[in-house]
Amino acid sequence: MDIGFQGNKRERTEIACICGERKTLKIGTVDNFIFESRIQVHNIPHFRCDFCGNVTYESNTGLPSLLKVAYRLKLMEIDWQQRDSTVVIFKIDLDYELKSQIEQMINKIIDDLKDGEPFLIMRDEPILGRRLENIVVLEEIITKVILLQGNGE
């Protein structure tokens, strides 16, 4: 079954399944496993067979790289629809106002943050973060900072 054209490419709504039934196009949450880690991907277009449960994706979803980043950041879920925008994930408990301030600051300086490099947000208690591609994770509040004074003598 085809529903029409998207640009010059026909968009499929059904494909054959390996069990002999048909898979239908759905948008929703799918569990993916990388080694022992389960990562839920929300709002992703996929083909699912209602008979056997088999799931496949179009090759242009970019799912492998998205899962790689989620796995490296130890995320349990990620939203596919946010794949092209900067996403700030808080693994720490902060109030809404502070989260908003941090998100605004990160969006302004995202190009200055190197991929994979850890960084600190300095405030009363520094916050440790890391950027991987378009995802920034704020991982930990540093509760103890030791200042080295002088030249070590």
Domains identified in the chain, total number? 2
**Cβ–Cβ under 8 Å, residues 26 and 48:** yes
- Could you tell me if 42 and 16 lie in one domain? yes
**Nearest in space to 11 (alpha carbons), one of 51, 76, 55, 58:** 58
Q: Identify the pLDDT of residue 145.
A: 83
Q: Identify the pLDDT of residue 34.
A: 93
- Could you tell me if 12 and 62 lie in one domain? yes
Express each pLDDT in 105-128 by its tens digit.
998 998 899 988 899 999 888 999
- Could you tell me if 70 and 103 lie in one domain? no
Q: What is the mean pLDDT of residues 2-8?
A: 37
What 3-state class would DSSP assign to 106?
Answer: helix
Instruction: State residue 148 phi and psi, 5-degree precision.
Output: -90, 120
Range of the domain at 96: 87-141
Token digits of residue 144: 């103890």
- Could you tell me if 40 and 67 lie in one domain? yes
Domain boundary among 82, 101, 122: 82
- Could you tell me if 111 and 59 lie in one domain? no
33 located within any domain: yes
Domain boundary among 82, 97, 124: 82
- Could you tell me if 10 and 77 lie in one domain? yes
Bridge partner residues of 14 (DSSP): 24
Express each pLDDT in 13-62 by its tens digit.
999 999 999 999 999 999 999 999 999 999 999 999 999 999 999 989 98
Q: Is the pTM of this model over 0.75?
A: no
- Could you tell me if 48 and 112 lie in one domain? no
- Could you tell me if 7 and 74 lie in one domain? yes
- Could you tell me if 14 and 76 lie in one domain? yes
Domain boundary among 82, 108, 123: 82
Q: Identify the pLDDT of residue 74.
A: 85
- Could you tell me if 13 and 67 lie in one domain? yes
Q: Has residue 7 got a pLDDT over 90?
A: no
- Could you tell me if 76 and 133 lie in one domain? no
